[in-house]
Amino acid sequence: MAKLISFSLVAIVPPPFKAEYIVGIAEDDHGKRIPIRIDREHLDILKIGLTGTLEKKQTDLGEFTYFLPKIEKSSENKVALITGSTRGIGKAIAIELAKKGYDIALNDLELPDEGKEIIKTIDEMGRASIFVKANVADYNEVEKMINEILTKFKRIDVLVNNAGINIDKLVINMSPQDWQRVIDVNLTGVFNCTKAVIPNMIKIGGGKIINMSSQGALNGPVGQANYAASKGGIVSFTKVIAREYAQYKILCNAIAPGCIETRMTDSMPPGMLRERVSEIPLGRRGKPKEVAELVTFLADQSDYITGQLILINAGEYI
């Protein structure tokens, strides 16, 4: 059994290293001292004298000996928070992630009957869930929400910033309040939730943030200046977060769905919907489940995509 002699979290790192890391000195079974690395997720439990094992790992930057502290296996399950998740795409994402074994934190302004069904569905899958009522546009409410989720689950591995609204008008008819309301929910809401979860993601050694942008961020949809600006802002925000927190193994991507079967497209006049579908090469609206499967891929199976905007639109915008 190896013993930890000393350690330090190195915050200012020299090239070629990019990310903060923990170094230390360990004593092996024969009493020989060697320099070691320790995975950042163990930071909170480190203390001089801790016992563990040593393991050599080959990396692109050379071979490192890691000290693996002897700890009780955590029974904590992975947890995903999906904002605006009581219906539509958010609901589909919650169900797909639950299928993948995540415990689910649901959020919305209220819990409609449809939302109560999701809780039941998740429960039937054998996964835990929590619904937290919060307005993502209000940072205090978001902070309370994150604390409530952490109290129950101790961790948040995945954040899907899905909550969004639209108030469609030509700019000439759009009031400053119409503009601000959409920006507050769609863009500031993404900032609020991201800011609030990052400390926990750093603590647990990484995470995935997936932001719901829109095809409207790219193609200048008439009548959606506020919505398109908020969704375009999300793309830029995503790129910054990807760069700032890559060092903590937090990956951040944005998704731009095209025409999906949601309340927003259901409410289009039939003629307009028909005209729009005719411009989609695959000739149909997408299903929330199809968007949810992309989110699930990014959340659960991808460790080498970050800072990207991924379009899911059946070729409508190429």
Helix (H, G, I), strand (E, B) or coil at 82: strand
Shortest distance, CB of residue 27 to other proteins, whole angstroms?
9
Give the contact letters, 18-47, x = binds to other proteins (CB under 8 A), - = no.
Answer: ---x-xxx-------xxxxx----------
Give catalytic status of residue 66 as yes or no.
no
Query: Binders of other proteins among 51-90, rule CB under 8 A?
Result: 62, 64
Residue 240 engages other proteins in binding (rule: CB under 8 A): no
Residue 122: CB atoms within 10 Å: 22
* Cα gap 240→190, rounded to integer Å: 13
* Cα gap 205→141, rounded to integer Å: 25
The smaller minimum CB distance to other proteins, of residues 8 and 175, is found at 8
Strands 21-27 and 2-10: antiparallel
Angle CA(189)–CA(203)–CA(201) in degrees, nearest 5? 30
Which span sits near other proteins by CB under 8 A: 5-13, 168-176, 192-200, 279-287? 5-13
User: Which one of the listed residues 102, 227, 245, 248 is annotated catalytic?
Assistant: 227
Which span sits near other proteins by CB under 8 A: 6-14, 72-80, 157-165, 169-177? 6-14
Q: Where are the beta strands (DSSP E) in the chain?
A: 2-10, 21-27, 33-38, 51-59, 62-69, 79-82, 103-108, 129-133, 158-161, 207-212, 250-257, 309-312
* Cα gap 198→241, rounded to integer Å: 10
Shortest distance, CB of residue 7 to other proteins, whole angstroms?
7
**Can you tell me which of 3, 5, 39, 143 binds other proteins, judged by CB under 8 A?**
5
Active site residues: 227
Binding residues for other proteins, rule: CB under 8 A, are 5-15, 17, 21, 23-25, 33-37, 48, 62, 64
